[in-house]
Structure 1
Amino acid sequence: KSRYLFFPGCQLGASAPDVVEKTYDHLCRSLDGGVAFMHGCCGIMAKWAGETDLFDETKAMLKNEWETLGRPIIIVACSTCRKSLANVVDDVRDVWTVLLETGIPDTKRNLPVTIHDACGARDQEETRHAVRELLAQLGCRVQEPKFSGEKTPCCGYGGLVQFSHNDLANKMTEFCLRDVDETRLTYCMGCRDRFSKVGARAVHLLELIFGTNTGDERAPGYSLRQDNRVLLKRSMLRDLWHEELEEEDRLILIYDDDLGELLEKRLILEEDIRKVIEEAEATSRFIEEVKSGLRIAYKQIGHVTYWVYYAPEGEAWRVRRAYSHRMEIR
């Protein structure tokens, strides 16, 4: 059994899996008593979506796993995770206060940054102080915005606003970025990705400490985020526990950048497209235009039905169009 458990949350591993691995390695080398690892969601997404039963199930699952591991001290890399887990386990600490105690690699960034406090840290003064201390150690020149600390605004990610009311979420993001010329420094990956997606220079604090991003890297799309989570799991199992995940044979998809942007906007994952094509080809249930070879197929996944226009191209599949509706076809 380990004295500590590192719980990075669901967003950090999706956007920067290499940073999760390096942070975990640092904690293992710096803390006595052993550090366990758990990758997943604290359940807040279910709560934000109004799925209270799922939220309660997630909390119960996490508590059971925590007790199985010997009730270790949990180290989180997300302020919202800290708030959620504080009602489930005995001792939750954020990685920033722990890094102040263990020390960080001797890295100097010397960057001018404007800090954006996570909305989940509005009532976490200790967290906000630790973040600023770490930035000072990195040599960053920190600019405080007009609204920070207890008055910090939400970037548009919290509460799943970007999915329920995207226009409002965009306005919230713009509000956070107004009059900011320097790189936006965050310690919430949801914030970093929101800012990056609208073209702003943004970086997560753990990226400055353990990574290479200094603000120029673009946030990954939804499909790549899913792939990154699998990559992180595969890498951790292989390197730390010497277990190999069986490789999955996945269809190779090809599509233009314009369609990629549209898929992102429509929240359609590559995995959804693969499921449509796989079933269509396995059952021969598709419409084909003989002259062009274009095929049209659909499949219901959960409560959503997806349509995909595609054609074979060598060993891959060229996707021409995809859309979805929350509906059933009977």
Structure 2
Amino acid sequence: MERIKINDHILNHIYKETKNCIECNKCMKNCPMLNEFCKTPKELFKEIINKKEIDLNIPYSCSQCGYCIKVCNENVDLKETFMDLRKYIVKENKGVPKSLNAGSILFHQRSSFSKMFTSFIYPKKDEGIKRVFFPGCSIMAYSPEIVKSTYKYLYEKLPGMGYLQKCCGHPTYLTGDLEKFNIYFSNLKNDIDKMKADEIIVACSNCYNTLKKNTNNIKIKSLWEVISEVGVPDNIKDIGKNIDTVFSIHDPCPTRNEIKIHESVRKIIRELGISIEELKYSKKQTLCCGSGGMIKVTNNKLALNQMKKRAAQGKSEHIISYCQECVESMRQGGKKSVHILDLLFKFPFYKELEFDQVENSLIKKWINRYRGKKITKSKKL
């Protein structure tokens, strides 16, 4: 893999992290990538400092899950260190290095911000917009029908509910291209400002974090908190009480610190009457599903190993999550897996009792996203 020279500013930052590392190896235990490159983070950082260069594959193998900082008593933040290295590499290279084979990410982002995959719904004029539902890309790529059903339910429960289908730009941020991310996010922010809502209700964990970190004067709220507050649809309360299937629950790592989200999801599942088991590493201590940090593109072998490892930690053959990327990762890891929205709005699941998503091809995902625009634009709720 290509090696990149590092300037003194970045080396000084790495040196500070090196001094703080006491080589306790707590971060090594469950990090998807460290064991592939070193015996301790201190060892890795010392090598980088001595050579004044880094293997491009190292920062782009970090899943950005944040487990390291969660378990480190010395606050060594490997996540941000590797993210800073990504930003530095893109700046020095004047773009994302071609050797990363990140063309699919760049295509995804260009397309996601095009008019072809962007749509809005404004509520009735006499209601005015109070809130906007922002589903994100991945759940729409899986099922536009589920997105439609979710919006319809929110609209019934909460007057003044608008809708915005667009990407948050997080994949671009993960490449390290901060300049392009700012352009994309500014595009999104303009659309949000035009809708003049007080609150954005977000389904995707990465979108939730991205919006929360980059917006002011508007409330960002998780879809799971909202459904927990208004309750599940009356016709499916306790629908799972007579079902023998027990689900292992996987928490997405982007919202590992959002206790309200963890509690809300579990409350929703209880209202459905679904039985769950907690994984050993859950909530704040959750582990990466294998898709974090775009490593499925930049280090696919590492990503697949993590998917299998994480999926195997569940005793059940069924895993439930509230992130579509996590659901797909658990399926690739060898388990049957569903999104919580499957259990809320996809009733055939209860008739068939399979409780496993059907994999969509890449083309089907883009078709779904285009269909989703047409479904929402028609306003036939």
Moved over 3 A (4+): none
User: How many angstroms does 1:38 deviate by?
Assistant: 0.8
Q: Which residue of 2 aligns with 1:188?
A: 323
User: How many angstroms does 1:196 deviate by?
Assistant: 2.1
Q: Mapping of 1:111-122 within 5 angstroms?
A: 111-122=245-256
Q: Which residue of 1 aligns with 2:377?
A: 237
User: How many angstroms does 1:162 deviate by?
Assistant: 0.4
Q: Mapping of 1:49-64 within 5 angstroms?
A: 49-64=175-190
1:199–1:178 Cα change, 3 Å: closer
Q: Which residue of 1 aligns with 2:240?
A: 109
Other structure's SS at 1:92 match: strand
Richer in strand (by share):
1
Q: Mapping of 1:1-330 within 5 angstroms?
A: 1-32=128-159, 34-86=160-212, 87-89=214-216, 90-106=218-234, 107=236, 108-110=239-241, 111-180=245-314, 181-212=316-347, 213=349, 215-240=355-380
Q: Give the Cα–Cα distance (whole angstroms) in 2 for the partners of residues 129 and 217 of structure 1.
A: 24
Equivalent residues of 1:197, 1:219 under 8 A apart? no
Q: Give the Cα–Cα distance (whole angstroms) in 2 for the partners of residues 15 and 199 of structure 1.
A: 19
Q: Give the Cα–Cα distance (whole angstroms) in 2 for the partners of residues 235 and 95 of structure 1.
A: 20
Q: Which residue of 2 aligns with 1:252?
A: none
User: How many angstroms does 1:211 deviate by?
Assistant: 1.2
Deviation track 1:130-160 (CA, whole Å, cap 9, x = no partner) reads 0001111111111001111111111111111
User: How many angstroms does 1:51 deviate by?
Assistant: 1.9
Q: Give the Cα–Cα distance (whole angstroms) in 1 for the partners of residues 311 and 334 of structure 2.
A: 11
Q: Give the Cα–Cα distance (whole angstroms) in 2 for the partners of residues 209 and 71 of structure 1.
A: 26
Equivalent residues of 2:231, 2:268 under 8 A apart? no
- Tell me which amino acid in the other structure corresponds to 1:66: I
Equivalent residues of 1:197, 1:218 under 8 A apart? no
User: How many angstroms does 1:219 deviate by?
Assistant: 2.2
- Tell me which amino acid in the other structure corresponds to 1:204: H
Richer in helix (by share):
2
Other structure's SS at 2:320 match: strand
1:179–1:63 Cα change, 3 Å: closer
Q: Which residue of 1 aligns with 2:35?
A: none
User: How many angstroms does 1:176 deviate by?
Assistant: 1.0
1:179–1:152 Cα change, 3 Å: closer
Q: Which residue of 1 aligns with 2:91?
A: none
Q: Give the Cα–Cα distance (whole angstroms) in 2 for the partners of residues 179 and 118 of structure 1.
A: 15
Deviation track 1:165-188 (CA, whole Å, cap 9, x = no partner) reads 000001110111114323100000
Q: Give the Cα–Cα distance (whole angstroms) in 2 for the partners of residues 42 and 160 of structure 1.
A: 15
Q: Give the Cα–Cα distance (whole angstroms) in 2 for the partners of residues 195 and 29 of structure 1.
A: 33
- Count of residue pairs the alignment pairs up: 240
- Tell me which amino acid in the other structure corresponds to 2:335: A
User: How many angstroms does 1:193 deviate by?
Assistant: 1.3
- Tell me which amino acid in the other structure corresponds to 1:188: C
Q: Give the Cα–Cα distance (whole angstroms) in 2 for the partners of residues 163 and 100 of structure 1.
A: 35
Other structure's SS at 1:104 match: coil
Q: Give the Cα–Cα distance (whole angstroms) in 1 for the partners of residues 260 and 229 of structure 2.
A: 13
Equivalent residues of 2:280, 2:313 under 8 A apart? no
Structure number with the bigger relative contact order (C-alpha 8 A, sep ≥ 6) is 2
Q: Bigger shift: 211-220 or 73-82?
A: 211-220
Q: Which residue of 2 aligns with 1:299?
A: none
What TM-score, normalized to structure 1?
Answer: 0.70
Equivalent residues of 1:122, 1:151 under 8 A apart? yes
1:176–1:183 Cα change, 3 Å: same
- Tell me which amino acid in the other structure corresponds to 1:94: S
User: How many angstroms does 1:240 deviate by?
Assistant: 4.0
Equivalent residues of 1:13, 1:20 under 8 A apart? yes
User: How many angstroms does 1:200 deviate by?
Assistant: 1.7
Equivalent residues of 2:308, 2:334 under 8 A apart? no
Deviation track 1:195-246 (CA, whole Å, cap 9, x = no partner) reads 22344210000110111346222221211100100011111112349xxxxx
Residue ranges of structure 1 left out of the alignment (5+ in a row): 242-330
- Tell me which amino acid in the other structure corresponds to 1:28: Y
Equivalent residues of 1:59, 1:88 under 8 A apart? no
Identity %: 30
